[in-house]
């Protein structure tokens, strides 16, 4: 694929990721993706022959990698697991607030909307969540309850993001951060 083709593909993924995060799977129609990306309709089907599900799946994978990379950067600098979790909540809160409360979790809405109806999308969402669990578990190395704690922390973060987005207020993230610190002591 040439440079122009790669640029077009990235524009389509950027548009899809933004639309999906703001409005979910059903709020991100192909006509909207084309309009936001400025890409020709034929490019959409050339780059994503599997249609909307392939486009959304790749955008969810991509968004998951972005959050995973932020987790890796933070893991390199956070001295404790509690600092790591607090830093992730701060990062996600800043991302949410800067987006005008439209960018919560890049996976949650798609997972909720499609998990029961689309096996491929359910599997992608599951893979992203498992990768985040793995990143948390790696920070909990040596704890006999690392599996349970990793899932608990992820569930707390997801719930806090939902509440923060719903209330348009960072306080749920701050409260969960304090409770994660207690949990991890």
The band of 80, judged by pLDDT with boundaries at 50, 70 and 90, is: confident
**Domain range for residue 112?**
3-184
Q: pLDDT digits over 84-143, tens only?
A: 889 999 999 999 999 999 988 889 999 999 989 999 999 999 999 999 999 999 988 889
Q: Is the pLDDT of residue 1 over 70?
A: no
Q: Is the pLDDT of residue 81 over 90?
A: no
Q: Give the residue from 185, 11, 175, 163 showing the smallest Cα distance to 101.
A: 163
pLDDT (0 to 100) of residue 4:
77
Q: Is the pLDDT of residue 185 over 90?
A: no
The band of 63, judged by pLDDT with boundaries at 50, 70 and 90, is: very high
Domain count, the chain: 1
Q: Give the residue from 112, 121, 108 showing the smallest Cα distance to 52.
A: 121
> CATH number, domain at 78?
1.10.357.10
């Amino acid at each position: 694929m040439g440079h122009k083709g790669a640029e077009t593909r990235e524009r389509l993924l950027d548009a899809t990721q933004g639309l999906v995060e703001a409005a979910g799977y059903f709020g991100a129609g192909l006509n909207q993706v084309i309009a936001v990306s400025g890409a020709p309709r034929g490019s959409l089907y050339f780059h994503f022959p599997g249609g909307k599900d392939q486009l959304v799946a790749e955008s969810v994978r991509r968004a998951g990698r972005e959050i995973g990379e932020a987790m890796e950067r933070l893991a390199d600098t956070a001295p404790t697991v509690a600092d790591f979790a607090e830093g992730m909540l701060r990062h996600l809160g800043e991302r949410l607030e800067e987006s005008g409360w439209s960018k919560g979790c890049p996976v949650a809405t798609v997972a909720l909307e499609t998990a029961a109806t689309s096996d491929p999308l359910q599997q992608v969402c599951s893979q992203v969540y498992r990768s985040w669990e793995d990143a948390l578990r790696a920070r909990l190395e040596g704890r006999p309850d690392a599996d349970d704690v990793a899932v608990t922390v992820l569930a707390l973060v997801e719930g806090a993001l939902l509440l923060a987005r719903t209330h348009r207020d960072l306080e749920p993230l701050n409260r969960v951060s304090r409770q994660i610190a207690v949990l991890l002591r």
